[in-house]
Amino acid sequence: MLTLTKLSKSYGEKQVLQDVSMDLLPGKVYGLVGENGAGKTTLFRCIAGLEPYDGQLESSHKPLKDVLGYLTSDSYFIPKITAEEHILLLTEARGIKLQDLANCNLFDLPLKNQASSYSTGMKKKLALTAVLLQQNQYFILDEPYNGIDFQSAIILTAIIHRLKEEGKTILISSHIYSTLKDTCDEIFYLDEGQIKQRVEKPDFDKLEEEMKTKILRVELDRFFGL
């Protein structure tokens, strides 16, 4: 279990997160939605231990960093490292020795090639593969569906469901709302650094319509100068 209690984050005088509280349970998939700048990535970085914050974060697994896999929206790779080397680097950091990397190549990537030669979508699939093979207990996936093809999206959704069956805890952000409806048990709506709603499956469509209405009203009024 992962519990956030009144987690807040500021950069100078700018408050990015304010009193964010969550209970994330094993065997559950949670979605996080919000407009650009709402604080989603900052929240992920705080949970992953990459940003200092105020408030409390408690985990039933300690230290949390040793059992948490974090997929960033823009993955970084060491210069001139091959895809195979990247995967082995991340798995060996967890003390995992892969017996047959070829059978773990879910997305059929050219593993001998340098990661820098990959397309945007291939880089996302490489980063996903490495994080998934770490056998983490918690997964934070920041826009995992961005840039990947339809077939890979199907595979990723199936993987998320399998992780759920294995009792893992998954927190996902996505601008593609349909992917959250296909994978999540609950969705948090983050607005201006605060959790404004927490909805379960029966209310996913209602939240989507509310968000569409708000976005269209604000953006169209802005565009037409109303």
pLDDT digits (tens, 9 = 90+) for 126-156: 999 999 999 899 999 999 999 899 999 999 9
Rounded Cα distance between 197 and 187, Å, is 8
The rounded distance, in Å, linking the Cα atoms of 185 and 204 is 10
* 8 A C-beta contact, residue 91 and residue 133: yes
Distances (CA, A) of 216 to 164, 209, 224: 34, 10, 12
Note whether residue 176 is domain-resident: yes
Is there a domain that residue 215 lies in? Answer: no
> Where residue 114 sits, what CATH number does that domain have?
3.40.50.300
**Domain contains 75:** yes
221 has pLDDT over 70: no
The verdict on residue 175 lying in a domain is yes
Strands 169-173 and 138-142, by their bridges, are parallel
Nearest to 194 by CA among 22, 56, 18, 21: 18
* Structural domain includes residue 125: yes
pTM for this one?
A: 0.90
Question: Is 207 contained in some domain?
Answer: no
Q: What is the pLDDT of residue 71?
A: 95
**Structural domain contains residue 202:** no
Count the domains in the chain.
Answer: 1
Per-residue confidence band for 218, with pLDDT thresholds at 50, 70 and 90: low
pLDDT tens, 27-44? 999 999 998 888 999 999
Q: What is the pLDDT of residue 206?
A: 93
Cα radius of gyration (the chain)? 18
Q: Which domain does 131 fall in, by range?
A: 2-197
Single-letter code of the amino acid located at 216? L
Residue 129 lies in a domain: yes
